[in-house]
Amino acid sequence: MRILVVFGTRPEAIKLAPLIHELRTTPGVDVRVCSTAQHREMTDQVVQFFRLPVDYDLNLMQPEQTLSQLTSRLFSRLEPVVQEADPDVVIVQGDTTTAFAAAMAGFYARKPVAHVEAGLRSRHKFAPFPEEINRRLISHIADYHFAPTPRAQHNLVAEGVREHVWMVGNTVIDALFLALRLLEHHAPKWDQRGKFRSIDFSKRILLVTAHRRENFGAPLREISLALRDLVQAFPEIEVVFPVHPNPRVQQTVSEILAAVPRIHLLPPLSYPEFVGLMQRSYLVLTDSGGVQEEAPSLGKPVLVLREVTERVEGIEAGVARLVGTQRARIVAETSLLLTDQALYQRMAQTKNPYGDGDSALKIKNILLDILSAAATTKDPAPQ
């Protein structure tokens, strides 16, 4: 059985790492891994940490490239990879431009496509952008759909995608648990580069990430001003903000927060560094999808810095609250969590709705059953 796994960004690599490991340890399975390097350095850190083999490195990252330029280059470079690998199935994850282009490349080559983390929807065309449309299109290209939650599965069925849909949980939880094991056994000193020496961990740590395109400009400015207000109002907190390398993020955040005491603007962190920091944080403010899913497994309440989220399950379960990007509301919601211990404990102790850490094994077993049946019937792909 030949399987081609394609990723291009750090979140994709993180969420596919447990599945790649599961497949590689299975006799009779030949796994080929393609990194488009849509995000070069940040993806490479994950590859090295999880010791992922990369058979095809397309090295497509370029400064300031547009989505059209990236998409065009992905189409042209992925076609020969699919032809050479000649897989029985192409696996893509999530909703990036890499995932969309790889799904199309598999479709053009008449290869089955498996979509990990299928069925997420915000119902807003431009939020997140371009991810909402990417994942909708992938759902109508893919042959096999691995939904992380019942809601995601329902979303697919409501759109007419009713066959070959499985609810398996989210592999990001598998990746988190795998990372914690690796940190415990191979990297006991989690702050290996001394990036956190200036942080006073005796205080309550607010971990912040903000990088989505729809938050560029005024929303990110509001977020930054809210963080400044919070450290001024609460002397017992420190804000730790690993700043995305995008110049539009760097400029806005630095202008407002660079000189503010007890706000630490850090360079991008490796995945193990981020996991270690998340473990030691009091709560998390983020516009990241993956962090919304990971933090509850560590008992960390999440405040979502977006106007809409496709991770509705966390909001409904009570592990996360959607607070938007307005300065006043961010300050109010964060202040509430800092002062209301009963609310904090409810959020911290609620079960994570995104899975128990066995999603990769479920996906592997389903795929092997499908491919074995296809090999027996000599009908490798639904048409």
326 and 223 in contact (C-beta within 8 Å)? no
The single residue of 22, 131, 214, 287 carrying the catalytic annotation is: 131
Rounded Cα–Cα distance for residues 136 and 159 (Å):
9
95 is an active site residue: yes
Residue among 190, 179, 184, 189 at smallest CA distance from 21: 179
213 is an active site residue: yes
Rounded Cα–Cα distance for residues 167 and 150 (Å):
6
200 is an active site residue: no
124 is an active site residue: no
Rounded Cα–Cα distance for residues 25 and 341 (Å):
45
The single residue of 32, 244, 264, 327 carrying the catalytic annotation is: 244
The single residue of 95, 174, 310, 333 carrying the catalytic annotation is: 95
The single residue of 10, 145, 211, 212 carrying the catalytic annotation is: 211
Q: How far apart are the first and last CA of the chain?
A: 19
**DSSP 8-state code for residue 297:** G
The single residue of 24, 124, 154, 213 carrying the catalytic annotation is: 213
| CA 321 from centroid of its chain's CA atoms | 18
Rounded Cα–Cα distance for residues 4 and 312 (Å):
31
3-class DSSP assignment, residue 90: strand
236 and 204 in contact (C-beta within 8 Å)? yes
Residue among 6, 13, 34, 3 at smallest CA distance from 100: 6
Question: Cis (ω within 30 of 0) for the bond into 128?
Answer: yes
The neighbour count for residue 17, using CB atoms within 10 Å, is 26
Active site residues: 95, 117, 131, 211, 213, 244
